[in-house]
Amino acid sequence: MGRPPKEPLRAFTQTERHELEALARSRSAPAEQIARAIELLAVAHGNPLAQAASAAHRRCRQAVARLVGRFNREGLTAVYGHHGGGPAVEYGVLEQERILQAFRRPPDREQDGTATWSLTTLQRALRKAPDGLPRISTYVILQTLHRAGYTWQQSRTWCQTGTVERKRQAGVVCVQDPDTPQKRG
């Protein structure tokens, strides 16, 4: 029988429990997140910290105790982790909104040299604009568009995730998937 934890695990909300159970069953999520979800669920079921660590194929009960403390303070952020180092985020909310604003405007063939946006043509347009971003990379543009719900389709166009245009007898209809936010996580 192990020592009782200094800080007991708080009760999960319904959303937290659902997300932790889904993450524990996941086969595509990062292994570290899956292990943390399994550890928290084991502690919630009343298992000692050492047994919770072993359920996630870990050895250290102190790491589980620290995870429990972080989860009590931060919620699911403790499971998904924090910024792992490297340079600080250079582009904040205003810059990301500027990227989306440029993306949403249709490209001018004369000015932008294209009929549809690609990452490099959008990068070139943002760098040349007077209120643009002179050092923006295609990676930052890609991450911003993904966070806004856009994906690159095989037809080489950017489309809003969960939205598709279908041809019907009455004409073209825009169909939206109501489960898109849950599917994206």
Q: What is the largest CA-CA distance in the chain?
A: 75
DSSP string, 141-166: HHHHHHHTTEEE-TTS-EEETTEEEE
- The pLDDT value recorded for residue 155 is 62
Cβ count within 10 A of residue 100: 16
- The pLDDT value recorded for residue 178 is 83
- The pLDDT value recorded for residue 118 is 87
Domain boundaries, the chain: 14-80, 86-158
Q: What is the chain's pLDDT, residue by residue, as a tens digit (185 residues)?
A: 566 668 899 999 999 999 999 999 999 889 999 999 999 999 999 999 999 999 999 999 999 999 999 999 999 999 998 777 777 767 888 999 999 999 999 988 888 888 888 889 999 999 999 988 999 999 999 989 988 888 776 665 666 777 888 889 989 888 888 887 777 76
- The pLDDT value recorded for residue 3 is 65
- The pLDDT value recorded for residue 176 is 86
Q: Which residues, 6+ apart, have CB-to-CB distance to 90 below 8 Å?
A: 140
pTM for the full model? 0.52
Nearest-angstrom CA–CA distance, 114 and 111: 8
